[in-house]
Amino acid sequence: MTRIQVWGLGALLSLLLAGCDRAETPAPAAPETATPAQAVAPTAPAAANVTAERLLNAGAEPGQWMTYGGAYEEQRYSRLTQINKENVKSLGLVWFADYDTNLQQTGSPLYVDGVIYVSTAWSKVYAFDAKTGKELWKFNPKVPGEWAVKVCCGLVNRGIAAWNGKIYVGTLDARLIAIDAKTGKEAWSTHTFDETKKTDALYRYSITMAPRVVKGKVIIGNSGGEFGVRGYVSAYDAETGALAWRFYTVPGNPAEPFENEQMKMAAATWGEGEWWKVGGGGTVWDSAVYDSVNDLVMFGTGNGTPWNQLARDPSGGDNLFLASIIAVKADTGEYAWHYQTTPADTWDYDATSPMLIANLNLDGQERRVVIQPCKNGFLYVLDAASGKLLAAKNFTEMNWADGVDMETGRPRVKPEARYKDTPFNLLPGVQGAHGWHANAYSPDTNLVYIPTQHAYFPMVSAIDTYKQSDVGYNLAIDFGAQVTYYRDKPDAPRTFEGYLQAWDPVAMKEVWHSESNQGPTGGALATATGLIFQGSGSGQEFRAFDAATGEKLWSTQAQTAVLAPPISFELEGQQYVAVSVGGAVQGGYYAPNYSRMLVFGLNGALQLPAITPYVPPQLNPPPATASAEVVAAGSGHYSQYCAACHGENGQTRGATFPNLMLSQMLHSQEGFDTVVLQGALSERGMASFAEALKPEDTAAIRAFIIARANEAKNNPAPAFGAPPAQEQQQEDGEEGAQQPHEER
């Protein structure tokens, strides 16, 4: 099989360790010896000729993968049958192509008529010839680096949409862009928020979710619930970019007219707080699905702003439509129904985890249902037409509730879990029992395959010290508790593990689960031959399981994290499996992470190049001389403004951002301020914080990082009270404590 390869990920990166973006300069291609097949120009690609008819009948074209979940039902199920349980052991790499970024990859590819399209970090989009791997074009939306300060949890993009010759991508600076699928040139672009207010503190939007196209409209939501935004989902005309409709997920200022009756209804559940002053949250940052039978678009909504309900609504109302699944009419965006998974959310329990539509036999009756394994740990089965709750049960261990009342649909919350006066070691933590990682469903086994997480997070209220901030998070919890809680309670459980499990949504029970790995695990793909393909997250393994039993039938090492969900497609009579990979596994922000597109086929024999040896910088901080009061002040500022990217204590765990304890900037306050206050690295994502921090504040932050660095140097293992079993995750994992919740 022919192949195209781009060797390496670039020369050594800058030694500056305070930026928030990695070097993006592509490495020069290594000399190649062209075979006769390689010397022939690839067939000109079709221009993403995706129509309503093709999407509605995706099952009739099993060789294509034209939308995020493979078909409108989002089951991520391939009907191709060439790769099966008997021959999967002969699966091998056919081609790979490197990306020009060293950041984490979470994008699910599309395959349309001979071309693979995929989004990567910084909202870039590639098109590859699916036969050879030759890059056809690359689109760079040129997101301003300083916008990274408005992005919660990683400079990622989870996917794209295709329609009528265009590829659609949402960007980190909250644009929706249509790309000409033939040329890779921009066709149109629109801001998904009021551009006249884009500098407003309440307009810190971003986009990381994959758009969906329904009936000629591009459906897209936004991220930003940690900062200060009002959530909504929008539909744009796919040809022109004109706004067709918008549905807000939380009410605005009650002194102003409500957009519809639903916002009036929702406002009555928000008590006497002034939530609108910081937006309210409720962003639609990941899950969406179209039910063509009922002509409804369904989507999940996120957490409130702040997380701690006491800070946004002291009365303790339900706060509609936070943490809810909502259905609206596809043509107009008119409300149809909703189900709130977590009323009065105070745990960052978004309802944005991927969901799917399936036909199940429940109590002898065929029902069309929506299934969501939710972040809060419950798996829900809802009637797709009405939203009626049909079943709910925890699919993993939890300690915040003891079940769901099937009469009211409400979780039975344990009072102590609300952490009003006493810290609570939450399970599942804010990482979620199930994050953004895609499920799969097989109509053959009638099982849902769930990337599952078992993770704790200490919830400690900071209501007494919380003040709304126009820079950094608005959470009203104590982020420093990630250290102090476990330091003071060394025997408290604090695992963060991921695994794949098969769940029966009729019997509501687990059928099997894979071995666990540290940190999150990857998205899944089911096939008609009884296989489940899935990545092990930071374990670097891409593998295939028996869908019925969970037996691992095949695996390969990807040299990097495998988080994004794979797809399967057919070209010239051959079935392939493709997956976008990339994420830190060598323990350092500047280590190569081998972000690539990998394509596998039967009897593929290509080997990846050997990894590049990497020696991480040594921990060598200046002496800790600041007073305890200054260090304490720095801890507070750091938790508010820095921990989201650089991790608690300045020690990033996932290498998505630099480990500040290793930074040479610690040796100079002037150098430190050049970056933090003057924005010397703004083009690389490290914006100036001069609006929020004064020189005495940055001095305290630097003192705090120095103190923690010396503590780590003098007590190298375990770091900050982490159990020995987690040490590898703390250094090598993808999400760890530096990103306490899933990437938005």
Cβ contacts of residue 86 below 8 Å, gap of 6+? none
Residues spanned by the domain of 282: 36-602
Q: What is the mean pLDDT of residues 127-144?
A: 97
In a domain, 740, yes or no: no
Q: Kindly state whether residues 352 and 488 are assigned to the same domain.
A: yes
Active-site residue, from 348, 478, 673, 732: 348
Please indicate, yes or no, whether residues 511 and 639 belong to a single structural domain of this protein: no
Helices vs. strands in the chain: H and E counts, helices first:
10, 38
At 29 the pLDDT is: 35
Q: Is residue 374 part of a domain?
A: yes
For residues 288 and 414, membership in a common domain is answered with yes
Tell which wins on pLDDT, 355 or 43.
Answer: 355
pLDDT band at 563 (very low <50, low <70, confident <90, very high): very high
Percent of all residues in the chain with a pLDDT value above 70, rounded to a whole number: 87
pTM for the model: 0.88
Do 663 and 564 sit in the same domain of this protein?
Answer: no
Q: What is the reported pLDDT for 494?
A: 92
Residues 155 and 90 in one domain: yes
Domain boundary among 584, 602, 620: 602
Residue 742 in domain: no
In 232-334, which ranges are E strands? 232-237, 243-248, 288-291, 296-300, 324-329
| Beta strands 524-527; 77-78: pairing state | parallel
Kindly state whether residue 203 falls inside one of the protein's structural domains: yes
Residue 286 counted as domain residue = yes
What's the whole-number average pLDDT of the chain?
Answer: 88
What DSSP assignment string belongs to 117-159?
EEE-GGG-EEEEETTT--EEEEE-----GGGGGG-SS-S---B
Query: Residue 692's pLDDT is what?
Result: 83
Identify whether residues 356 and 292 lie together within a single domain: yes
Per residue in 581-635, pLDDT tens? 998 776 667 788 899 999 999 999 999 999 988 888 888 999 999 999 999 898 8
pLDDT band at 270 (very low <50, low <70, confident <90, very high): very high
Residues 598 and 693 in one domain: no
Whether 565 and 699 map to the same domain: the answer is no
The tokens describing 621, both together, are 């901080």
The C-alpha torsion from 142 through 148 and 152 to 157, rounded to 10°, is 20
Active site includes 491?
no
132 in a structural domain: yes
Question: In terms of domains, do 441 and 386 share one?
Answer: yes
Residue 35: which pLDDT band, with cuts at 50, 70 and 90?
Answer: very low
Could you give the number of structural domains in the chain?
2
User: In this structure, is residue 621 part of a structural domain?
Assistant: no
Asked if residue 684 and residue 541 are part of one domain, the reply reads no
Asked whether residue 316 falls in the same domain as residue 258, the answer is yes
Instruction: Please tell me the predicted confidence (pLDDT) of residue 648.
Output: 64
Query: Domain with 264 in it: what CATH number?
Result: 2.140.10.10
In a domain, 212, yes or no: yes
One domain for residues 522 and 480: yes
Query: Residues 533-536: contacts with CB within 8 Å, 24+ apart?
Result: 533/566, 533/568, 533/577, 533/579, 534/440, 534/449, 534/451, 534/500, 534/565, 534/566, 535/561, 535/562, 535/563, 535/564, 535/566, 535/579, 535/581, 536/498, 536/562
Q: Which CATH number belongs to the domain containing residue 690 in this structure? A: 1.10.760.10
